[in-house]
């Protein structure tokens, strides 16, 4: 799942060279919804019977789709695929703050706090101290994407509580469908999608982004929340930077500094410390 989400960031970056950002995200959501809707019908999922939860699914669509994807789309205009993938780790860090320090539904530990601090330090290394101090366009991209993943973290916590017991296929189908409606409306208001210079390559990228990266990626995310809980599921986002940095370097020839590699290593050590007790139980 980490690899799938990292590749999604790569596809968005490539498409933004010719297609406006909201157009990309609207097409992504629409194709993901169609594929999951067909899968739901084949598996005979009770979509109609869960329509009473449409208000809850709409909140998921706003937090986990609209806010996140708009932040990601516009933020990637300022930064590389590798850096964008590292900012995904904002999610487990925010999840730690909310579940451990605020709501206190997960047990506090000193090692967990050390891991959290290391995660912040690792992200700072990847962003670059100079970029942080100069407050240039890189910081704008960081704030947009990081803010989007803050919303996804809140969405995951709410999903763990409000969607408990609901089939993750149904949850994902509903909120992707509602997200597609919202993003399509925004695309027609701000970007005129019918006038965008769509090409065959763009359509193929949209299909891969929507069906492979989005439909399967979001289903996997909600499936893990459904099976293992939101706190445990959040740690997978620490592994996205590895695939993001690698794909950005190999495909887009993005440079990876030694400080960034050290930063990713620090982040991964941090996630281990945060989830150390859970790893022990799993072993």
Nearest to 159 by CA among 215, 219, 116, 209: 219
Is residue 89 within 8 Å of 119, Cβ to Cβ?
A: yes
Instruction: For residues 101 and 121, give the distance between their C-alpha atoms in angstroms, rounded to a whole number.
Output: 19
Of residues 262 and 185, more confidently modeled: 185
**Residue 87 domain-assigned?**
yes
**Residue 208 domain-assigned?**
yes
> What pLDDT, on a 0 to 100 scale, did the predictor assign at position 280?
59
* pLDDT above 60: residue 279: no
> What pLDDT, on a 0 to 100 scale, did the predictor assign at position 46?
94
pTM score:
0.82
**Residue 44 domain-assigned?**
yes
Would you tell me how many other CB atoms lie within 10 Å of the CB of residue 104?
Answer: 10
**Residue 42 domain-assigned?**
yes
Residue with tokens 């709410």: 158
* pLDDT above 70: residue 26: yes
Domain that residue 52 falls in: 2-278
Percent residues over pLDDT 90 in the chain: 33
Angle, vertex CA 70, rays to CA 204 and CA 34, nearest 5: 45
* pLDDT above 90: residue 125: no
Instruction: For residues 2 and 23, give the distance between their C-alpha atoms in angstroms, rounded to a whole number.
Output: 24
Tens of pLDDT, residue by residue over 241-263, are: 888 888 888 888 888 888 888 88
> What pLDDT, on a 0 to 100 scale, did the predictor assign at position 154?
93
> What pLDDT, on a 0 to 100 scale, did the predictor assign at position 148?
93
Angle, vertex CA 261, rays to CA 258 and CA 263, nearest 5: 110
Instruction: For residues 81 and 61, give the distance between their C-alpha atoms in angstroms, rounded to a whole number.
Output: 24
Tokens of 197: 């210079």
Q: What is the mean pLDDT of residues 92-117?
A: 85
The total number of residues shown for the chain amounts to 283
**Residue 138 domain-assigned?**
yes
Of residues 257 and 37, more confidently modeled: 37
Q: What is the mean pLDDT of residues 254-279?
A: 79
> What pLDDT, on a 0 to 100 scale, did the predictor assign at position 68?
93
Of residues 79 and 134, more confidently modeled: 79
**Residue 251 domain-assigned?**
yes
* pLDDT above 80: residue 159: yes
Q: What is the mean pLDDT of residues 48-74?
A: 94
**Residue 283 domain-assigned?**
no
* pLDDT above 70: residue 180: yes
Structurally, how many domains does the chain consist of? 1
Of residues 141 and 1, more confidently modeled: 141
**Residue 193 domain-assigned?**
yes
Percent residues over pLDDT 70 in the chain: 92
Tokens of 44: 């005979």
> What pLDDT, on a 0 to 100 scale, did the predictor assign at position 246?
84
> What pLDDT, on a 0 to 100 scale, did the predictor assign at position 79?
86
Q: What is the mean pLDDT of residues 211-223?
A: 84
Q: What is the mean pLDDT of residues 179-197?
A: 94
Q: How far is CA 39 from the centre of its chain?
A: 22
Of residues 277 and 252, more confidently modeled: 252
> What pLDDT, on a 0 to 100 scale, did the predictor assign at position 38?
94
Instruction: Quote the mean pLDDT of the chain.
Output: 86
């Amino acid at each position: 799942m980490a690899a799938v989400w990292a590749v999604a960031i790569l596809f968005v970056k490539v498409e933004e060279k010719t297609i406006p950002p909201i157009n990309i995200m609207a097409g992504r959501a629409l194709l993901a919804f169609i594929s999951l809707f067909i899968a739901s019908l084949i598996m005979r999922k009770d979509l109609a019977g869960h329509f009473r939860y449409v208000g809850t699914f709409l909140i998921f669509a706003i937090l986990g789709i609209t806010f996140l994807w708009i932040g990601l789309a516009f933020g990637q205009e300022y930064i590389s695929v590798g850096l964008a993938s590292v900012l995904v780790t904002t999610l487990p860090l925010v999840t730690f703050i909310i579940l451990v320090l605020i709501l206190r539904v997960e047990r506090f530990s000193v090692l967990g706090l050390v891991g959290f601090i290391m995660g912040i330090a690792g992200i700072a290394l990847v962003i670059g101290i100079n970029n942080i101090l100069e407050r240039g366009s890189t910081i704008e991209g960081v704030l947009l994407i990081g803010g989007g993943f803050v919303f996804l973290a809140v969405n995951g916590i709410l999903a763990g509580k409000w969607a408990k017991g609901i089939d993750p296929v149904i949850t994902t189908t509903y909120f992707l469908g509602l997200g597609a409606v919202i993003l399509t409306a925004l695309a027609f208001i701000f970007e005129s999608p019918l006038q965008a210079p769509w090409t065959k390559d763009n359509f193929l990228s949209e299909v891969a982004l929507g069906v492979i990266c989005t439909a399967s990626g979001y289903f996997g995310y909600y499936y893990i929340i459904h099976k293992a809980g939101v706190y445990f599921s959040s740690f997978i986002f620490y592994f996205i930077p590895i695939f993001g940095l690698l794909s950005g370097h190999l495909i887009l020839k993005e440079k990876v500094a030694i400080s960034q590699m050290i930063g990713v290593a620090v982040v991964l050590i941090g996630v281990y410390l945060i989830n150390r007790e859970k790893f022990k139980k799993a072993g």
